[in-house]
Chain A
Amino acid sequence: DTGVSQNPRHKITKRGQNVTFRCDPISEHNRLYWYRQTLGQGPEFLTYFQNEAQLEKSRLLSDRFSAERPKGSFSTLEIQRTEQGDSAMYLCASSLDPASGNTIYFGEGSWLTVV
């Protein structure tokens, strides 16, 4: 049983560069979520997909952020023109089509440091 897989696990980038993170959800999970977690805080919702459709985006997701899930399987989160404030852990999670109460499983996260 493979869980939610994210890569890269760590990324250090210079301010102004673009970065892309990939998430492979648990197979057959049709819901996929992206969260951001800064040091000492709880995860904050960014966006989620039902299959390939992006159903909701948080106000935290500025125009520099874009997420895709082109075939309803893996997803990418791209950050353009990175800023120091983007430094955080980006968490991906997946679940089956809810019914409320379906467990959401998280990956180990991708740490981004913008220098």
Chain B
Amino acid sequence: GDSVTQMEGPVTLSEEAFLTINCTYTATGYPSLFWYVQYPGEGLQLLLKATKADDKGSNKGFEATYRKETTSFHLEKGSVQVSDSAVYFCALSDGAAGNKLTFGGGTRVLVKP
């Protein structure tokens, strides 16, 4: 079945540091890939997405590129802020599986001033 593996946290960074969160996937079909973010006490919000190989999703300074050859979708941000402290979830949506989302376990990021 489909699965998503992402690096375990917590990841603790200083403000303005570079952030990378690794995400790899296994899927039977040709999935779309997503990053969702969950701020403390809130629901999931879509951060960015990519629907085909080599697509780059970007939003709020975050970027991720769909790499089919390495089955990866790593999230990056060049200069994090305290407000980026949250839990980040990598997910895939597989048309062969009804397009429901399959999530990774989440990575908690803590940015210190």
Contacts and interface: CB of A to CB of B under 8 A. Distances in A.
Contact count band on A? 20 to 34
Nearest to A40: B106
A85 interface: no
B43 A98 contact: no
B100 A100 contact: no
Contacts of B49: 101, 103
Interface in A55-105: 55-56, 91, 93, 95, 98, 100-105
B28 to A, nearest CB: 13
B69 interface: no
Contact of A43 (B44, B46, B95, B98): B44
B98 A104 contact: no
A101 B51 contact: yes
Contacts of B42: 108
A106 interface: yes
A42 B98 contact: no
Contacts of A95: 99
Nearest to A44: B103
A31 B105 CA distance: 24
A98 B105 CA distance: 25
Q: Which 7 pairs show the lowest CB-CB distances between chains A and B? A: A42-B103, A101-B51, A108-B43, A98-B99, A100-B95, A106-B44, A101-B32
17 contacts: A33-B101, A41-B106, A42-B105, A43-B89, A45-B101, A91-B44, A100-B95, A100-B99, A101-B32, A101-B93, A103-B46, A103-B49, A104-B46, A105-B46, A106-B45, A108-B42, A109-B43
Interface of A: 31, 33, 35, 40-45, 48, 55-56, 91, 93, 95, 98, 100-109
